[in-house]
Amino acid sequence: MEIQFSRHRRLRSSANMRSLVRENHLRPEDFIYPLFIYEGENIRNEVSSMPGVFQVSMDNLEAEMEEIVAHGIKSVLLFGIPKTKDACGEQAFHDHGIIQVATRFIKEKFPEMIVVADTCLCEYTSHGHCGVVEGEKVLNDESLELLVKTAIAQAKAGADIIAPSNMMDGFVAAIRAGLDEAGFKEIPIMSYAVKYASAFYGPFREAAEGAPQFGDRKTYQMDPANRMEAFREAESDVAEGADFLIVKPGLPYLDIVRDMKNTFNLPIVIYNVSGEYAMVKAASANGWIDEKSTVLEMLLGMKRAGADLIITYAAKDACRWLKEEQ
Ligand code: PBG
């Protein structure tokens, strides 16, 4: 009897055969590592819902950066937790705001490191929203002015990439115009083009102390049910001059990552967010999953989906594991 079928297993017969035909790879330069810089002294607080992630004050930043460099990580994304907050988030754009101070320090001590500045107001505003608030409304155009000021302050401090995340309409156009006028034509914008209103941001809000004090972010972040809307958001950001497109969160939105990769000719960045990180840490602490293989499979899945770069809290672990595999 002769039956016809394909022998797929031929290419899986040994470790070397599998590596010969492997289609996607993880590299340390794929990762962008988020850092939480805390205004104050002698602070190195582990975030309870994110084991292995620390809020650090300036006096502990050099040691943290040395560790990051030793892992082979080449870019960091900075979030700040200021001492004081107010209605319009002045510490976000003040020359002595914590992110500006941290950026100057990193660029002086570690000039090769790519510093990506998260451009948003929610960590700096007393109400915890990402823009200017009137009553319970988050105002669009008024918020843009403050965002532009923030981006310029970050660029002046030496940031290599500006990453606006507040989801106001027109933020790329406004920031591009502001940066150009201030003499920063060369600085790229990594836009959080496609950012969903997600429950997966929970642990981040503990880490960055930026939870909204009333309401939620659903009038500016996207509805998780929508796909067409992701194309509209990305199209307008591309037209306004974005240099990178971020899709956020990661795991539940891999379909959107593939859509963006197939449609736009810009580097696609996925944000493997705090809740995704926390779930894996919690399950592995319970002995329910194997952390190393789970994390590497997740990150590889993101690349396979079309991500060129991955913002991830697991960057240090992943670099260490990748070295072990070599
Ligand atoms: C602030 C911001 C958030 C995250 C990154 N920037 C929180 C939010 O929008 O509520 C979440 C990142 C994460 O969960 O890891 N605009």
Residues with catalytic function? 195, 248
For residue 247, tell me if it sits in a domain. Answer: yes
Q: Do the Cβ atoms of 171 and 241 come closer than 8 Å?
A: no
Q: Which pLDDT band, with edges at 50, 70 and 90, does 103 fall under?
A: very high
pLDDT at 211 over 90: no
| Strand-pair category, 75-81 with 54-56 | unpaired
- pLDDT at position 132, please? 84
Would you say residue 254 lies in a domain?
yes
Does the residue 171 lie in any domain? Answer: yes
Mean pLDDT rounded to a whole number for the chain:
96
Task: State residue 256's pLDDT score.
Answer: 98
Could you tell me the distance, in angstroms and rounded to a whole number, from the CA of residue 47 to the centre of ligand 1? Answer: 15
| Average pLDDT for 73-97 | 93
pLDDT of residue 75 exceeding 80, the answer is yes
Examine residue 14 and state whether it is found in any structural domain, yes or no. Answer: no
Over the stretch 139-182, which tens digit does the pLDDT of each residue have? 999 999 999 999 999 999 999 999 999 999 999 999 999 999 99
226-256 pLDDT, tens per residue? 999 999 999 999 999 999 999 999 999 999 9
pLDDT of residue 131: 87
Query: Which residues are within 8 A (CB) of 29 and not within 5 positions of it... i.e. 6 or more apart?
Result: 72, 74
In a domain, 103, yes or no: yes
Taking 80 as the threshold, does the pLDDT of residue 308 lie above it? Answer: yes
Average pLDDT over residues 108-123: 96
Cα(285)–Cα(188) distance, integer angstroms? 39
pLDDT at residue 326 tops 80: no
DSSP 243-304: SEEEEESSGGGHHHHHHHHHH--S-EEEEE-HHHHHHHHHHHHTTSS-HHHHHHHHHHHHHH
Does 165 sit in the ligand 1 pocket, CB within 6 Å?
yes
274 Cα: distance to centroid of ligand 1 (angstroms): 8
* CA 277 to ligand 1: nearest atom: 15
Asked if residue 190 belongs to a domain, the reply is yes
Q: What is the model's pLDDT at position 88?
A: 86
Q: Say how many Å lie between the CA of residue 188 and the centre of ligand 1.
A: 20
**Most ligand 1 atoms within 8 A of CB, residue of 78, 122, 209 to mutate:** 122
Pocket test for ligand 1, best of 31, 119, 195, 201 (most atoms within 8 A of CB): 201
The domain tally of the chain equals 1
Structure confidence at residue 223 (pLDDT): 97
Q: For the segment 282-291, what is each residue's pLDDT rounded down to a tens digit?
A: 999 999 999 9
> What pLDDT was estimated at residue 325?
83
Does the residue 15 lie in any domain? no
pLDDT band at 210 (very low <50, low <70, confident <90, very high): confident
- Our answer on whether the CB atom of 101 is closer than 6 Å to any ligand 1 atom is no
Ligand 1 neighbourhood includes 130 CB (under 6 angstroms):
yes
How much is the average pLDDT of 11-18?
98
CA–CA dist 247, 270 (Å, integer): 5
Task: Judge whether residue 30 has pLDDT over 90.
Answer: yes
Q: How confident is the model at residue 270, as a pLDDT?
A: 98
Residue for token pair 């040691």: 63
pLDDT of residue 86: 87
CATH number for the domain that contains residue 240? 3.20.20.70
**Range 118-123 average pLDDT:** 92
Ligand 1 atom at minimum distance from 34 CA? 15
- Domain contains 277: yes
Q: Ligand 1 centre from 12 Cα, in Å?
A: 40
Residue numbers of the domain that contains 238: 24-325
| Ligand 1 atom closest to the CA of 273, numbered from 1 | 15
Q: Which range among 18-32, 202-216, 282-296 shows the weakest confidence by mean pLDDT?
A: 202-216
pLDDT at res. 174: 97
Quick one: what percent of the chain has pLDDT higher than 90? 87
pTM of the full predicted structure?
0.96
